[in-house]
Each structure stands twice: as C-alpha cells, then as structure tokens.
Amino acid sequence: MAILHNRVSQKELKERLYQETEPRTTISFYKYFPIPEPEQFRNELYKNLEVLKVFGRIYVANEGINAQISVPASNFEAFKTYLYSIEPLSGLRLNIAVDDDGKSFWVLKIKVRDKIVADGISDETFNMANKGRYVNAEQLNAMLNDPETIVVDMRNHYEYEVGHFVKALEVPSDTFREQLPMAVDMLKDQKDKNIIMYCTGGIRCEKASAYMLHHGFQNVFHLEGGIINYAKQVKDDGLDSKFIGKNFVFDNRLGERITPDIIARCHQCGNPADTHVNCANDGCHLLFIQCENCAQHHEGCCSKECQDFIHLPEEERKEQRKGIDKGRNIFNKSRARLRPKLGDRGGNGE
C-alpha cells in the first residue's frame, strides 16, 4: 500500500528540491463540484500525484478541489492526462505561473477540509451554481473604461498592497469570510451597476460573485482564472495590463511580477519596496515587506528584538519558542505596530 503522506523532514525535502536539475512548472487550479467522499478522493489523488513527483498544497472538500502545485517538466503531460481522467476535471483550465523559478514547493500535502475556501457562509439556501459571469482579460480592460463599472478586490490587505487593478476597491479585512458581508454592505446602494470581482486564481472571486447574486445584486462578473490567468492573456495577446505591481502568491515565491510598478513601501524604512519576506526569527515568522537595505541591516528580521533573538544560543531560542503559536502572523498597518511581541501570536489571513 502506498504511503499517503510525507515522512521525510522538511529540511531534507527542501535540500532535495534545490538539488534538482530538471525545471518545474508551477500551476494552480480549482473546481467547485460535489465530492461525496473527500477522504477517499484525497487518498487516490495523493497516490497518483506522488508517483509523478508533484509537490504542492491541495485542499479537498465536499464542495470541490483547490490546488497550488509544481510538476517536473517531463511529467507535465502525464499529470494533465491523469487530472483530466477525473471526469469533473476534464479540460479544466490550469493557471501557469508567469514568474516562476520552479522552487515554489518541496513537498506534497493534500488535506481534507470542510470547504476549499473558508467563507463563513451558513445559509443553506446559498448555491454556488448561481454565480457571476466570466470575463477574460480583453473584456475586463474594456469594462474598466466605463466609469460606472465597479471592480472589487477579494484578496487580503497584504495582497492588495503590492499590486491591484486600477480603480480597484479594497475590502479591508484579513479574511475572506469577513470580506463577503463587508462587500455586500459597501455596495448595497449600487446593486444595479456592473460589478467585477477578482482574486489571485479565481476561487475566491467565483464564490464572491455567487454571494453577491444571492444578496440581490444584478450584474455581477468575475475574472476567469484570476490575476494569474489575466497576466498570461495580457502577455499572449499583447494587451495593456490594467493590473499594476506584483501578484502575491501563496508559495515560496510570495509574489510574481506583473508590471515594473512598485506601489508599496518597506514596512521598516518607508522606501518603495514590494518584496514580502517572513521574519528570519522562526519564533516570529512575521510576513512583511522589506527592502534590500533593511534586509541587510536587520538580517532579514522584522525588529531589533528578533535580530537579537536569532543570535542567541540554539538551546535558549528553543526554550523561548516553547508554547508559541505563530499562526498566520501578518503585518497590518491598522494595528500601528510592525510586529507583536514574542508569545503574542495571532492567526491572521486565509
């Protein structure tokens, strides 16, 4: 019987990845469709993808699948053949990363969850079958020329900060489940206008479009394949990019460049910067924006406290880290501080 989970240390797996000479392709995909037995579906998926040396993060739930993976170039066609052999996934659009070094993932993790994207929706009458209409890159660009069109960013604040569409409305929250009712409330007086929802790869904005229709909005659209697919269409078709800056991605890259514009600032010195990093102190691991000068000066740390901490003896660091839950520790300007103190870890974001 195949091993249905990884049993090698993360450190060793990462070292193996960087020793690979064959290029890898980073791919994301999702599909809302009923999966009656998610655990069985998950095990079959793991067994087949492990053979193909697929790395990445995949969530499976009764409502569908959500995946961000990398696959060796020589196995790409075999991967597609297997994926498309699953009837509901036949011909599924695959979002290929546009700014990719192939080092996005180093282990395969497939998890069963209640939902493939946490939404907080408890209304049993909500139905994903009634969703907004797709728009592609050319259609989105045309609609943006209409001053009456409303474009809504359904990503978290730290994603919006480094890149977004021109005229895009930010829904200021750390979580998608909070954003859904906030978007309804923010636009409650504009239910007859054209509203375009967008996100990274399409999964959040597709659900958001259905949620808006459920709440009485009339003309709701969502960007097919999200920013990732938009960037590919812009490049392939020679279109002007209405998205400026970087697209934040949830893998080791933490971002892919769409246009040269740098619209964010370093969270330490305030100079233009849009590179997200995790604090070099593993007891903190704060996600924040750091410029090259600050990275060198602070040794990749978010604060003097963390910089001092990484120079302590290993045993002392282990002792101080005991009981700390890092969660999704993310910089938020609204909290008026760069980072929480050691031992004060909050779980933020989706």
Residue 51 lies in a domain: yes
Question: Has residue 108 got a pLDDT over 60?
Answer: yes
Residue 317 lies in a domain: yes
Looking at residue 1, its pLDDT comes to 41
Looking at residue 24, its pLDDT comes to 87
* 313-343 tens-digit pLDDT: 888 877 776 655 544 555 554 333 444 433 3
| Alpha carbons within 13 A on the beta-carbon side of 158 | 27
Looking at residue 127, its pLDDT comes to 86
| Mean predicted confidence (pLDDT) in 298-315 | 91
| Mean predicted confidence (pLDDT) in 60-75 | 93
Contact present, 26 and 102 (Cβ < 8 Å)? yes
Looking at residue 22, its pLDDT comes to 79
Contact present, 247 and 290 (Cβ < 8 Å)? no
Residue 233 and residue 274 in one domain: no
Residue 178 and residue 85 in one domain: no
Looking at residue 13, its pLDDT comes to 56
Q: Which of 220, 237, 254 is the last residue of a domain?
A: 237
High-pLDDT (> 70) share of the chain, %:
84
Looking at residue 95, its pLDDT comes to 85
Q: Residue 96: which of 213, 249, 240 has the closest Cα?
A: 249
* Between 284 and 104, residue with greater pLDDT: 284
Residue 255 lies in a domain: no
Is residue 279 among the annotated active site residues?
no
| Mean predicted confidence (pLDDT) in 253-259 | 88
Residue 42 and residue 78 in one domain: yes
Looking at residue 282, its pLDDT comes to 82
Residue 157 and residue 80 in one domain: no
Residue 78 and residue 137 in one domain: no
Q: Which of 67-81, 85-99, 249-263 has the highest mean pLDDT?
A: 67-81
> Which stretches of the chain are DSSP H helices?
10-19, 38-51, 76-85, 137-144, 157-162, 176-186, 203-214, 226-237, 292-297, 304-309, 314-321
Name the active-site residue from 199, 205, 266, 291.
Answer: 199
* Tokens describing residue 250: 């949830």
Q: How many CB atoms lie within 10 A of CB 276?
A: 23
Q: Which of 5-14, 37-46, 123-132, 165-174 has the highest mean pLDDT?
A: 37-46
* 274-290 tens-digit pLDDT: 999 999 998 888 999 99
Residue 65 lies in a domain: yes
Residue 233 and residue 142 in one domain: yes
Predicted model pTM: 0.76
Residue 233 and residue 141 in one domain: yes
Looking at residue 23, its pLDDT comes to 86
* Average pLDDT, rounded, for the chain: 86
Q: What single-letter amino acid sits at 29? A: F
Residue 199 lies in a domain: yes
Q: Which of 45-59, 118-132, 210-224, 288-302 has the lowest mean pLDDT?
A: 118-132
Q: Could you give the CA distance from residue 54 to residue 109 in angstroms, rounded to a whole number?
A: 10
Q: Which residues, listed in sequence order, are joined to residue 220 by a DSSP beta bridge?
A: 195
Residue 204 and residue 142 in one domain: yes
Residue 232 and residue 143 in one domain: yes
Residue 283 and residue 331 in one domain: yes
Residue 34 and residue 72 in one domain: yes
Secondary structure (3-state) at 222: strand
Give the residue numbers spanning the domain of 93: 22-112
Question: Number of structural domains, the chain?
Answer: 3
What CATH number does residue 194 fall under?
3.40.250.10
Residue 282 and residue 227 in one domain: no
